[in-house]
Amino acid sequence: MEIYHPFADTSAVAPGLRRVFADFASSHPQCSLQPVPIAPFNTEKLIASMAGGAPPPLSMLPPTQVTTWVPQGLLEPLEPYLKRDKLAGSDFLPPVWETMSWGGGAWHLPVQVDPNFPFFWNKAVLRSAGVNADRGPQTMDELDQAAQKINRESGGQWERLAFVPWQWYGTSNALSAMGYTHGGTFFDKERKRVTYNHPQVVKGVEWMASWAQRLGGTRARADQLFAGTNISALIADGKIGFAPLVSIAVPAIKQLSPTIELGHGGLPGATAAQAGVVWTGGWHVGAIPGSKRTDDAWEFIRWIGASGEGTSAVAQQMGGLPGHAKSPGFEILSRDSSMVAHVEAIKRAKFLPHSFYHGVSVDLAPLEQALDGARTVKAALDEITEKTQVRYEQQQAEQAQKKRS
């Protein structure tokens, strides 16, 4: 069976994924997999294959893209298979099930889940600045206080910073962090209203923008620290004290600095009660309409997403976190000191990326302007809210028209 996936052969993830596919083939000798990398990942090849009458049985997808894949008819419904095999929402992590069961159907199962984010710190940096290195900050106020001791400049340039919040894996992820850690929401499900200008989202983004001002007026001065390097190297070199990290960043840091001591905990919150929030991403897999091998496709989907054997293979071969709540993969990964923080984080996961809840693209250009001091945060988030609401209503109208026709 062909399976479309997003990892180029040169990707660090590709060898592990191939080993997972080999494990499936060894336990299912009647059924082999033919991986087809699509990088950068998009739906063009998939749509073309469906139009040509020769779709692959399987494709991986970012789970939040269910909101666009299903309306386009790119996923086969899996609810009959889930019912037959007695799989239900309680078998999966809550945000994973939320994407799986979008729109009243069940559409895909998890391959690996990203918890965004556990919070890490270089203990040596904190100690050198007189900051408690054994307990991470619980609130933004505590993080601010630590930064005043850690930040250090020389010759008009920063040589060490406690953190750079807009660099938390890009503006979109930083926006999710600011909203959730301050108790905000991005969509009112009851009123069907986009809420990027929720008061607590505004408060969180204002905190982020305030650091752009404090570190140089715009982001450019702080961003010089990131020129030609990455967050793993900056943490390893002691140039950044705190950062949220994806799981593959931790081994990279330890390889660059074998004696480094890393602390970890949850993201700080506006209050201690709001600390430790986690939203999820990752990659899932679904069956493609038009294939004559849907039953075989489901066997792979069930194996990799909801069986002890398959989810353990993902943990062992890829270092990937399962989305199946009862997976033995969590115990496997907990034995690896580089993965403990992410195993702990995934169990706290409650949210999804901000755009999932309304399912349309978001233009964050106004937010970029606000972070550089060109406009107020409130005005920027008002504009994002208004424009996204228009796109959301257009999408809803288009989908309703399709159903009528």
Tokens of 294: 């849907």
pLDDT averaged over consecutive 10-residue blocks of the chain (405 residues)? 95 92 94 93 97 97 95 96 97 97 95 96 98 96 98 93 97 97 96 98 98 91 94 97 94 95 97 96 97 96 98 95 96 95 95 94 97 96 98 92 80
Inter-residue contact 24 to 264 (CB < 8 Å): no
d(CA 15, CA 26): 17
Domains of the chain: 2-116+282-354 (3.40.190.10), 118-274 (3.40.190.10)
Write the DSSP assignment of 131-190 as a string of letters. Answer: --SSS---BHHHHHHHHHHH-EEETTEEEEBS--GGGSSHHHHHHHHHHHHTT--SEETT
d(CA 33, CA 309): 17
Inter-residue contact 74 to 44 (CB < 8 Å): no
Residue with tokens 């919040």: 165
pLDDT at 217: 83
**What confidence tens digit (pLDDT) does each residue in 126-174 have?**
999 999 999 999 999 999 999 999 999 998 899 999 999 999 999 999 9
pLDDT at 365: 98
Closest to 76 measured CA to CA, from 57, 49, 60, 97: 57
pLDDT at 117: 95
Sequence-distant contacts of 393-397: CB under 8 A, at least 24 apart: 395/71, 395/359, 395/360, 396/192
**What confidence tens digit (pLDDT) does each residue in 300-350 have?**
999 999 999 999 999 999 999 999 999 999 999 999 999 999 999 999 999
Inter-residue contact 105 to 70 (CB < 8 Å): yes
d(CA 15, CA 128): 40
pLDDT at 56: 97
pLDDT at 401: 86
pLDDT at 399: 85
Pairing mode, strands 58-61 and 118-122: unpaired
Tokens of 217: 């007026």
Tokens of 6: 């997003």
Q: Report the predicted TM-score, pTM, of the whole model to 2 decimal places.
A: 0.92
pLDDT at 27: 94
Inter-residue contact 42 to 59 (CB < 8 Å): no
**What confidence tens digit (pLDDT) does each residue in 244-254 have?**
999 989 999 99
